[in-house]
Structure formats: structure tokens, C-alpha cells
Structure 1
Amino acid sequence: MVRLSIRHETLYTYERPVRFAPHRLLVRPRDSHATRVVEAHLTVSPPGQTRWLYDALGNSVCCFTPDGESRVLSIVSDLTIERFPASLTRRDVADPQTVTPIFYSAGDRAVLAPFIDPVSEDRDGRLLNWLRDQIGSPREPALEFLLRLNRAIRADFDYSTRDIGTAQEPGQTVATGSGACRDFAWLMVEALRRLGYAARFVTGYLYSPKTAASGVRGAGATHAWCEVFLPELGWTEFDPTNALAESPDLIPVAVTRTPAEAAPVSGAIYGDGGKSELAVHVLVRPAEMISAAA
């Protein structure tokens, strides 16, 4: 078990005061057998009404409506969590599936259907042509193929940070050969859906105590990766930005069908605020460091 402290700060600033419409916050990790939320504190300014609910996918959502007018909207989430990760290499699969066709039982397929159908278009065929180049022997075990695809995206694409905007289309990522973590996650999700896999987009946090030395990409902000459903293994995590699979360093907050649904903070303002700026900072560190400092 690993206990971690997470601080997620989001700050919007405007030239002129504005009023705020209801906002949707995805900042609380998903409680599961692998993650337990020990403490959670949400600090907002300006203050307002908050209401918590679970959405259709079981994500913990905070509905927040700031009061009055302000030139600043500040949202700070402080968390203490415990992680109980399970290693992918220790799982025993009695009947491993091959790459294609991937087979789901009728019961599973009824639930997985929304995550099997592709969402993005590929009019020029760039995504499909790239995907064809990744496929090897049809007898290759599905898990081995997924791990290989995960590594290929990490090795073949250039990483760049981008704080604002949703994920770019997978075909654009292939064409430019570069992207942010959400672009690589969405590329892998939509590529696998075209092979009949159930895949979903995941947003959350990345714990990386030695970012510079280890070459880990995506720490210091919210992170994105994908989950793929495999028979006998269930939902399995793959982070193509760092070629990680079922890593204890991945802390999921929300799972969605598309990247647009996974924004940590979404909402609108009333009025002309003029020039606006967004600053996001995420710090994940061992909880013992907090206790020692105190």
C-alpha cells in the first residue's frame, strides 16, 4: 500500500468581473479495490453551492455554482489517497485472446457496446493506414499486441504540452507525429475501437517522484491514458505517453467515452471578461512528506 497526497490547483483570471454558470468538476479519484480516498477537501473562490453525484459511468462529480461576480475563479482540491495496485505481469490468463478478432461474451458486449463504436472520423484514412502498419501476426496474443502498441506510440510520437483545448483528432496526431497525453490516449482508444476492442478515455493524475531523471512525461498537470477491456483481465490501463501498463503511478479520476466529457473543470461565464488566463498545477507526493513537514 502507498499513501499519496494530491494537490490540484485550477485558477482562471479575467480582465473584468464576470458571473459564473454552474460548473462540473472531476477532481476526486474513483474509489475502488486499487484506490481508497482517505481525505478530500475542496476549496473554492468565490464561494458557492456544491452538490456531489455519481454520473452514469460511476465518476464522482461535483456540481459547483459560484456566487456573485469576480475576476478570479479558484478551485483547489486536496486529497490523501491509498493505492493498492496489482501488477499486470502476475496475472494468470487461462485462455488468452489473440489480436483479432477479440471476443466478448454476449453479456459483456451489451455493456461494452458504447466503448466499441468509434467516435472520430477518419476521412483521409490516416488513422487506419497507421493502424494497419502496427498489426503483426493475427496469432499474437491481444495483451502482447496492446503492450507493443503502447510502446510504439511512446517511441514514435513527439510529446508536447498543451494546457488548453480538447484532444485533437487521431488522424491529426498521426499526420503531425506529435501531441499531448490526451492526444496519445485518444489515438490509442480510437485505433483499438476500429479493431473491435472496448476502450475508454481516462483522466487522472500521474505520480512521478523522479520526473527529470526517469523521462516520465505528463507529471505536474492532469494526465490522460486509456483503458481496454480484455476477457479474464477486465479493464486494463495503458498509458501510451509513457508506455506504462497497470502502473501504480496512474491514479484514475474519471473514465469517459470521449475526451470532451473528461475535462477536470467545465462550465461557462456570463458577461465580457475580456482577456482570460488559465493556470493548472498538480502536485503528487508521498503523504509521509506532508506529515514530516508539519
Structure 2
Amino acid sequence: MPRLSIRHETLYTYERPVSFAPHRLLVRPRDSHAIRVVDALLTVSPPGEMRWAYDALGNSVCWFTPAGESASLSIVSELVIERYPAPIGELAVADPQTANPIVYSPADRAVLAPFIEPVTEDADGHLLRWVRDRAGGVYEPAIDFLLRLNRSIQAEFEYQARDLGQAQEPGHTVQVGSGTCRDFAWLMVEALRRLGYAARFVTGYLYSPGHTDVRGAGATHAWCEVFLPDIGWTEFDPTNALAESADLIPVAVARTPADAAPISGAIYGDGGQSNLTVRVDVLPAQPLPAAA
């Protein structure tokens, strides 16, 4: 598996100097059997106090409080990682509980409950009707259904990049037929929850070597994870119809998109007009020098 180099630059600028409340940074993946962090560097300006912690979902969180006042805030995360996904095609699933309707064991269900319960309202029923029209028949393997739904979102909806703002309500995405990666991920998460699946929102990065048709590169990316008996948490990217792909580099998981924001915080004072610039580059890492 080749190593990847990730540079994530975030710059806030203000007309007038402001002071800063604590900021929550979700920019570093947690080491696991699926991803290995080889090197990590976090550069901030203005400097300030930093404290690292794991949140309730095991995400690696940096609490950063910039010191003093400034008319800008710069946060640059640089990573070198190795990625080890579990390709869908290699999964041999014999567990009958992985067929529709999905069935979780009591022990799993106790842990998964927050990810099975929908978060959003669907008063007009747009989302429920949409997902019912695409639901598979009884005994269709869940993997087959999920791959089909993943492809369906990529094919049916128009991708429109949007750097700022929260994820759209899934019912609204169904109505307008368009959105960005976080809208499509949130649509898949909330649709699956209405069918009894445990699903969660994932934020991270997308590696797209020479693929001009890949949607969502050059910025932070979002996709969906679904828990399956006998398999565990499995990744689906409805923006690009990817599943358990080495090109998906997860950083954090959450119950909602708001909980997965890469950088969140507040300022004190009237900074006037503000501007946000974000840039993400994911490239092959330079090989390490040979040992002497």
C-alpha cells in the first residue's frame, strides 16, 4: 500500500482583530488496522494552548485556544498515512442476518441504538417514499442492497460543490435532486436509519489520482458507514459510488454532520467581514530515505 501525504489548510480572515474561544479540530485519523498514521504535524497561527483527547466515539480531537487577538486564524494539518481497507469483493458473508430486513443481535443493538434512530424530520414523507422505492425484497443480501443504493444516489443526483453551510435536510435533497458530498452522505445515513440500519456520518479526505470524474476532491469529503452483522462498519461513498475504497481516508465519525465538522469554534468581538479559505491536497508521499 503506497503512503499518502495529506495537507489540509484552513484560513479565516477578518477585517478587524478578534479574540478566540476554544476550537475543536477533527483533522487527525485514529490509528487502526485500516489506517496507520506515519507522521503528523499541526501548525497554527496565532499560537495557543492545545489539548488532545478522544471523544465518545473514539475520534482524535484537538482542543485549540488561540492566544491574544488577530485578524486571521491559520490551521494547517500535514499527515503521512497508510490505508488498508477491506475490499467488498473479498467478503464471504454466510450470516443470514445480513439479508433484508437487517437484524442485529441484542448486544450489538444496545450499542448501535443511537445510529439506528433517525435524527431529521420527514414531515412530507419525501425521504421515506424515496428510500421505499429503492428498498430490496426480503432476503436480498444487505451488501447488494447497499451497493445498489450507493450507486443510485451517485446516478440520480446532480453534484454541486458548496464550501460553506450545513448539510441539507435529506428530504430537501430528494426534492431538489442535487447537493454536495455531505448532503449525499447525510441522505444515505438517514434513509438507511428509516429501514432499521445502523449508519453514521464520516468526514475525511478523498484521494483521486488522475481521475477527473471524481467528485469532492480538493476539499474535505464526507460519506456513510453502515454496520452489518458478521462484517462490522462498512464504508459507502454515494458521491462517487465507492465502497471500502483505499481512496477514502476517514478522519472522524459522528451521528450527525454537525458533530463531524473538521473545525468548529467561535470568536469574540466584531471582526467585520470574514472570509474562509480551505484547501486539501492528497498526494503520494515521498519514500522514506533508506537506512544507513
> What is the TM-score normalised by the length of structure 2?
0.97
Aligned to 1:238: 236
Residue 48 of structure 2 corresponds to 48
**Quick one: structure 1 residues 276 and 289, their matched pair in 2 at CA, closer, same or farther if it must change by over 3 Å?**
farther
Report the Cα offset of residue 132 of structure 1.
1.3
- Asked whether 1:38 is paired with 2:50, we answer no
Decide which of 250, 253, 262 is 1:252's aligned counterpart: 250
Q: Which amino acid aligns with 2:41?
A: H
Instruction: Please tell me whether the aligned partners of residues 98 and 229 of structure 2 are also in contact (alpha carbons under 8 angstroms).
Output: no
Q: Which amino acid aligns with 1:159?
A: Y
Alignment partner of 1:278 is 2:273: no
Q: 1:91 offset after TM fit, Å?
A: 1.1
2:139 corresponds in structure 1 to 139
Is 2:191 the partner of 1:191? yes
Counterpart secondary structure, 2:200: strand
1:96 deviates by 4.3
| Mapped partners of 2:96, 2:28: distance in 1 | 34
The superposition leaves residues 161-215 of structure 1 with CA deviations (integer Å, 9 ceiling, x where unpaired) of: 1111111100000000000000000000000000000000000000011131xx1
Residues 53 and 132 of structure 1, relative CA distance in 2, 3 Å threshold: same
How far apart are residue 12 of structure 1 and its match? Answer: 0.4
Residues 98, 138 of structure 1: 8 Å contact kept: no
1:59-115 Cα shifts (integer Å, max 9, x gaps): 000000000111100000011111122211011111244553211011101110110
| Residue in 2 that maps onto 1:176 | 176
> How far apart are the structure 2 equivalents of 1:75 and 1:25?
9
The residue identity in structure 2 corresponding to 1:218 is G
Q: Which residue of 2 aligns with 1:127?
A: 127
RMSD: 1.2
3-state SS of paired residue (1:205): strand
Q: What secondary structure, in the 3-state scheme, does the structure 2 residue paired with 1:25 have? A: strand
* 3-state SS of 2:185 partner: helix
Tell me how far apart the structure 2 counterparts of residues 106 and 137 of structure 1 sit (CA, whole Å).
24
Aligned to 2:158: 158
2:90 match: 90
Number of matched residues? 289
Q: Which residue is equivalent to 2:222? A: 224
Separation in 2 of the partners of 1:179 and 1:4?
A: 28
1:117 Cα shift? 0.2
Q: Does 1:262 align with 2:260?
A: yes
Distance in 2 (alpha carbons) for counterparts of 1:277 and 1:211: 30
What's the CA shift string for 1:216-266, capped at 9, x where partnerless? 100100000000000111000000000000000000000000000000000
Given that 2:50 and 2:62 are in contact with CA atoms closer than 8 Å, whether structure 1 keeps it comes out as yes
Tell me the amino acid that sits aligned with residue 19 of structure 2.
Answer: R
In structure 2, the residue matched to 1:12 is 12
How far residue 138 of structure 1 moved from its aligned partner, in angstroms, is 2.0
Which amino acid counterpart does residue 199 of structure 2 have in structure 1? A
Deviation track 1:112-165 (CA, whole Å, cap 9, x = no partner) reads 011000000000110011111112322211110000000000000000111111
Q: Residue 290 of structure 1: CA displacement?
A: 9.3
Give the match for residue 287 of structure 1. 285
Q: Give the distance between the partners of 1:271 and 1:154, measured in 2 at CA.
A: 42
Distance change (3 Å), C-alpha of 1:217 and 1:106 = same
Moved more, 3-12 or 89-98: 89-98
Task: Work out whether residues 2 and 84 of structure 1, in 8 Å CA contact, stay in contact via their aligned partners in 2.
Answer: no
Single out whichever of 85-94 and 152-161 deviates more from structure 2.
85-94
Alpha-carbon distance between aligned partners in 1 of 2:266 and 2:225, rounded to the nearest angstrom: 30
**TM-score normalised by the chain length of structure 1:** 0.96
Percent identity, aligned pairs only? 75
Tell me, in whole angstroms, the C-alpha distance in 2 between the residues paired with 1:138 and 1:93.
17
* Contact preservation (8 Å) 1:100, 1:195: no
Q: Hey, what's the Cα distance between the residues in 2 that align with 1:234 and 1:15?
A: 48
* Contact 1:211 1:219 (C-alpha < 8 Å) held by counterparts: no
C-alpha distance in 2, partners of 1:16/1:227?
A: 41
One-letter code aligned to 1:184: F
Alignment partners' CA distance in 1, 2:126 and 2:35: 38
Q: Counterpart of 1:93 in structure 2: which amino acid?
A: V
